[in-house]
Structure 1
Amino acid sequence: MHSSLDSQNPQIDFTHPLQNLMQRVGVSSFKSLSRAAGVSERQILRLRRGELEQMRVDGVLKLSQVLQISLSELVETFSVPNAVVSAGFTQHRVLSLKSEPSAVVSAGRSPCRVLSMEEEKQPDLQLSTHNSTSEQELLHRIADLQREYQRILLVLEQQREVLLQEFQQSSLHSLETLLLQWPTAAQKAQENPQLAAVKIVPLVQKSLENLLQTWGIQAIAPVGAELPYNPQLHQLMAGSSQLGETVKVRYTGYRQGEKLLYRAKVSPM
């Protein structure tokens, strides 16, 4: 992993803390981190520069998940006030102080060199304030995204309930004849044990056929059919048969389009 930055602001470098987090989760390179999080390498570079305010909110969320840290911890770790200041920048400030040892001081005031140090703190204070504001804006954006996520979950749950109700209504419509007439037919069968079952079968058969047709389910073969044995579609109940040998269907099987639901149970002839 490269630790140097080619940036317009070379003083800010979060490479080392980012590498530490990557090592903790077993990510070996910035390119690997980019692939794992599903973000561009430019977004990784912005994170290393402390440019969180320029990053996409979803990118920040993905990186926090891959690095296994919370959003607030990621924002705190990679905010500019916590950045590592380069040695060259520090040396420049020290040399600036040493170059003014004999500055003229006004009466009753502190040495000019001390005043220069205080003045140098002003840009840092402004930068800290700016980045604190940027951090707050990022947190607000993250909060908005989380609220939108919860809203979408609620909408999906409501849609699921609507679809379930529609499915139930459709199924009830297909079973309408059975639901309305079966209780009466069952009662008559109990009152008259001699009642032929053939009179009751159509109630069940027609409703079942309607339901299967609604769901796009087809029978592999009717019971009693004799056909060539196909182990992909048929299950032997006993004995053995070779591919293509004639077998008889004992229990029908079903498929839905190209998907096999149940193999038909067959026996050798």
Structure 2
Amino acid sequence: MTLLNEQHPLLQLVEVSKHFGHLKAVDNVSLELSAGSVTCIVGPSGSGKSTLLRTVNMLEEIDGGAIFLNGQMIGHELKHGSRYRVSNSVARRQVRNFGMVFQHFNLFPNCTAVENVAIGPMTVKGTGRRQAEAEAREYLEQVGLSDRADHYPSELSGGQQQRVAIARALAMKPEVLLFDEPTSALDPELVHEVLTVMRKLAAAGSTMLVVTHEMRFAQDVADEIIMMDAGQVVERGEPSELLRNPRTERAKRFFSSVGTRS
């Protein structure tokens, strides 16, 4: 993988923490993503995976640490030695760098697939309707849905709706794609079509941070797997090493329970 420059990774989380009352949902987590890399975050339910992802997209404000994109702090700025939240206008500009794919598609039911994909560039970037919809059709073709462009969400399967959601994220031309358990709401027979699209994006060089329970996908596609539990990183490493030879007892129990150890 190639860094954007020799000074910093594309995305960097430094000792990030997020608390909900006394609960430490994310506790002092650090990670780095190089441009074009795929990082998968795995772990049991309630381990803080999705919350961590939401801090990157500024859907949750961090309580400690810092997040950097291209070496620039996002969400906060330092003034006179203290940290302050950035203005809403700056936050909106920063969040454009991330494309988020949620568990539950979140499509507009009264809009067709092409309209769902085009609405972001039109409303956020001011792209004209004709251009936005033309580009939306290209992204729908990229996820294998060119023949469903004029269909409404109610006319699409769950897997097709999630692929529309991926096209919607791509339409914003983000620097980092964020996936929050993108197959968890799908029937088993529909999981494959979504993972196939994600594999193609990874092969094409998209930078991806993926919260997932699909261990085979993580094993085949990830450059690094991070296992979390109780808000902390328990273990991390390349899939070939981590899944076969976890060092901690907690990781051994987890990977054994999900059937990855040989």
| Superposition TM-score tier, normalisation by shorter sequence | under 0.3
Q: Which has the larger strand fraction?
A: 2
Q: Which has the larger helix fraction?
A: 1
Q: What TM-score does the superposition give when structure 2 sets the normalisation length? A: 0.23
The higher-RCO structure (CA 8 Å, 6+ apart) is: 2
